[in-house]
Amino acid sequence: MIFIDNGLAIQLKEARSNTGYSQNDVATILHITRQSVSKWERGIVYPDLDNLIRLSDIYKVSIDDLVNKNSELKSQIKLNNKKIKEQKEKLGKVNTQLYQNTNEGIFLLILVLASAVVPPIGVVLPIYVMWRNTKYNSFHKTIYIASIVVVLISLWGTAIFINDNWLEPTHTEIYRVNE
């Protein structure tokens, strides 16, 4: 077993003894096992930050007094505080890139309108454009409306094309003109 710095372990054991609690009493208050308290006091593992705060309340000792002799735990607490501060800063910033998709909105709208020229492509491509469209695009609703209209017109054009070429082909006769 690897033992860590005993500074915190000694402080925890002394603070518990000073308050008159047994390991079992502390474990019951914290809703953990007695073995966990024993491991803390023997220096096998550290209590997590939540339990450390609760221990300081139970023992009526500040966290600084508990941690005072443990430089590794102090550095860990400083590192955790730094990470928390960085996370708060990240959460505070709004991702403005989501709201600036004007170029993509214009591109999608042009793509939908251009696909109307070739009916079979005009059936498939607007469906992709509707899937790619987000509410942050500049022409969000216009792209949906244009896509639906282009799909309907392209379905009609494709139906006419299929009907004229394969279902009911017309017979074309060529007559020679005498001059």
Structure confidence by residue, pLDDT tens digits, 1-55: 455 557 778 888 888 888 899 999 989 988 899 999 999 888 888 888 888 888 8
Average pLDDT, the chain: 83
Supply the pTM of this predicted model.
Answer: 0.41
Q: Which top CATH class is 7-92?
A: mainly alpha
DSSP codes, the chain:
-----SHHHHHHHHHHHHHT--HHHHHHHHTS-HHHHHHHHHTSSPPPHHHHHHHHHHHT--HHHHHTT-HHHHHHHHHHHHHHHHHHHHHHS--GGGG-BHHHHHHHHHHHHHHTTSHHHHHHHHHHHHHH--TTBTTHHHHHHHHHHHHHHHHHHHHHHHIIIIISPPP----PPP-
Q: What is the predicted pLDDT for the residue at 65?
A: 75
pLDDT tier at 161, thresholds 50, 70, 90: confident
